[in-house]
Amino acid sequence: MIRKFRLGHPYDTNAVILPLEAESVEDFPFKSGINDGCFEFSFFMQKDDIVYGLGEAVRGINKRGWIYESYCSDDPFHTESKRSLYAAHNFIMLDGSGCFGIFVDCPARVRWDVGYTQTAETKITVFAQAFDIYLITADSPREVVREFRSAIGKSYVPPFWAFGYQQSRWSYHNAEAVDRVVRGYDEAKIPLDCVYLDIDYMQSFKDFTVSENAFPGFKEYVSAKKEQGIHLIPIIDAGIKKEEGYEIYDEGIKNGYFCKNAEGSVFEAGVWPGVCAFPDFLNPEARRWFGSKYRYLIDMGIDGFWNDMNEPALFYSVKGLNAAIDEAVNAKGKNLDLGGFFHIKDVFAGLSNRREDYSSIWHSIDGKMVNHQEVHNLYGACMTRAAGEYFAENYGGKILMFSRASYIGAHRTAGIWFGDNHSWWSHILLNLKMLPSANMCGFLYCGADLGGFNDNATRDLVLRFLALGVFTPLMRNHSALGTRDQECYSFGGADDFRDIIEVRYRLIPYLYKIFCGASENNDLIFRPLSFDYPGDKIARECETQLMLGDDCMIAPVYEQNVSGRTVYLPEDMRLLKLSGTRVESAELKKGIHYIDVALNEVPLFVKKGKKIPLCQPALRTRDLKTDELEFV
């Protein structure tokens, strides 16, 4: 059952598509009240209760014991101490002494104190005067998710080729660099379907332009790659370079499509291209305009995009930067002590993504000026909606689209990636833990930067990361400028990488079927073990393994210098060790086992009476013979 409670006249976030009568928030059956102008409500947790949800967030599958904040943030340090990442996924669920889910449909900041201040209490604070809250009750957590997901609508299904392996790096600067990547993979006979174009494909980081120097004859180039079976996927950023004569900027200015300052001038802040204006994606007309701009690249043969920097990321506001420079100039020649030096350092370090800069942004919604803080968490989602609606109208389901920032509702038109993680072993597990949580919120096409984005990766880390990535719908290796190369052919011993990625291609028909089924039935691809084995204490507490579809369990290796890992089997299962076209198989009894997993192996646990279809690998998804399947 699902009930909706309303306070005031909330902004229509487009998250819920099921029409429901709203009850007054006064009838909301939880302890609640107004504190400091904010609506607060809470529920109690028994000792063994689990709290799931919050989608893309730090820490565990069980969210107990921390404060999280829905406030889309460009933060490349995904450590336990953080409260916010790029997304605002306002769905939380209790399982144990009760079974219910809560969706706070509010694009302003929301704080989730899940037993941090009071161990046995979850307190939720909504920093807004108008919102909807949905209460979903059912017999099991999986049913709660299904009920919630049926209210928010079916999840985005990308084109089939988007299940192939994808290689990215900031940045393949020109056509020769892209060619080197394709050649590297082809020579090593490692499957590959996509190569990404990061910001350097543009002229001076301007959206919807292509650098003639870097990619001469871009259209012909895209089509030549397509013939080789390679899709090029360009990035699109939220900020539009301030430059007279640049068509997008000029049109935005002429039509009033950019976000404003309080007094009506255009809000400006620095991002990659320098000073930028920011399209007012909250304004439907501006959204239609921006969406139609993707056509420039689609007409050149492009059929996939990633939307970035759309929290929106602000490196600095002109006002903030000038004030910081003034302070530094003032300090010149002075003997700076502890306080003096660190103050200057903090002033510069604090220039990016300042809340006070966000507060100075204004949107035009239905003819009314709305402050950005009221809708902050929708900005990136509306950028993606701009593109998604344009694609849906004009290109059916043929375009791949995923975004960094997101809000529930965007799951209908796009996927997400989990942003700038690190080449850290702990991030393999973080990646794993986000998967079921993201699925609960409707985001099925998702994945992390495999191998890690920031920092230098090692060969064993990339292999182990990829062995988890074999199962994630988005399987993309991406890394930052200046880090060690982490393409599969970069480390020597490419055979091991081929063995892992071939397993992905062998599984694609099966994974695609699970994916489409999950979208169609509002179900999860990845579930915590506790969903399936609610009475089993070890399963309930397991945070390093996941159920995949209805037949399997996955348990990737996530530590360095180990030859395998301990796995808990909540029932008898068959262990498949998949490597290239080889399949080793062993029957294991319910209980705890140590399993050896070589660097070129992918372990998969299959439940009794289930069979897994495998096809022969191919270098491209288009060459997969998806109707010639063998069953294990």
Q: Is 192 in the site for ligand GLC (CB under 6 A)?
A: no
Instruction: Name, in order, each residue with C-beta under 8 angstroms of 593's C-beta and a sequence gap of 6 or more.
Output: 566, 567, 569
Q: Per-residue x/- mask for ligand GLC, residues 363 to 402, rule CB under 6 A?
A: ----------------------------------------
Site string for ligand GLC, 472-491 (x = CB under 6 A): ------x-------------
The DSSP output letter for 412 is G
| Order of strands, sheet of 22-24, starting from the edge strand that comes earlier in the sequence | 22-24, 2-7, 131-137, 99-105, 91-95, 50-53
Q: Return the residue of 193, 198, 502, 601 that touches ligand GLC, per CB under 6 A.
A: 198
Q: Is 303 in the site for ligand GLC (CB under 6 A)?
A: no
User: Among residues 69 and 198, whose Cβ is nearest to ligand GLC?
Assistant: 198
Residue 308 found at the interface with ligand GLC (CB under 6 A): yes
Label residues 350-360 b or e (16+ Cβ within 10 Å = b).
ebbbbeebbeb
Question: Is 235 among the residues that bind ligand GLC (CB under 6 A)?
Answer: yes
The residue (of 57 and 235) whose beta carbon lies closer to ligand GLC is: 235
Closer to ligand GLC by Cβ: residue 237 or 502: 237
The residues, any chain, with a CB within 8 Å of residue 97's CB and separated by 6 or more, are 45, 46, 48, 49
In this structure, are residues 563 and 474 in contact, taking their beta carbons and an 8 Å threshold? no
Q: Please pick, from the candidates 404, 464, 476, 593, the single residue that binds ligand GLC as defined by CB under 6 A.
A: 404
Phi-psi region of 140 (alpha: psi -120 to 50; beta: other; left: phi over 0): beta
Which residue's structure tokens are 């006002």?
319
Task: Name residue 198's amino acid.
Answer: D
Strands 274-277 and 268-271: antiparallel
List the one residue out of 374, 355, 359 whose CA is nearest residue 261: 359
Between 286 and 416, name the residue whose CB sits nearer to ligand GLC.
416
Question: 3-class secondary structure for 108-144?
Answer: CCEEEEECCCCCCEEEEEECCCCEEEEEEECCCHHHH
Binder to ligand GLC among 93, 126, 199, 410 (CB under 6 A)?
199
Closest distance of CB 483 from ligand GLC, Å: 11
Q: How far is the CB of 203 from ligand GLC (least distance, A)?
A: 15
Rounded to 5°, the CA angle 313-154-394 comes to: 70
- In the complex with ligand GLC, which residue's Cβ is closer, 193 or 198? 198
Binding to ligand GLC, residues 42-101 (CB under 6 A): none
Query: Using CA atoms, how far apart are residues 184 and 180, in angstroms rounded to an integer?
Result: 6
How many residues touch ligand GLC under the rule CB under 6 A: the total is: 9
Instruction: Say whether residue 465 binds ligand GLC (CB under 6 A).
Output: no
The minimum distance between CB 313 and ligand GLC, in angstroms, equals 8
Q: What is the closest distance, in whole angstroms, from the C-beta atom of residue 187 to ligand GLC in the complex?
A: 25
| x/- map, 406-425, ligand GLC, by CB under 6 A | -------------xx-----
Q: Is the peptide bond before 312 cis (omega within 30 degrees of 0)?
A: yes
CB of 269 to ligand GLC, least distance (A): 16
Instruction: Give me the residues that bind ligand GLC (CB under 6 A), please.
Output: 170, 198-199, 235, 308, 404, 419-420, 478
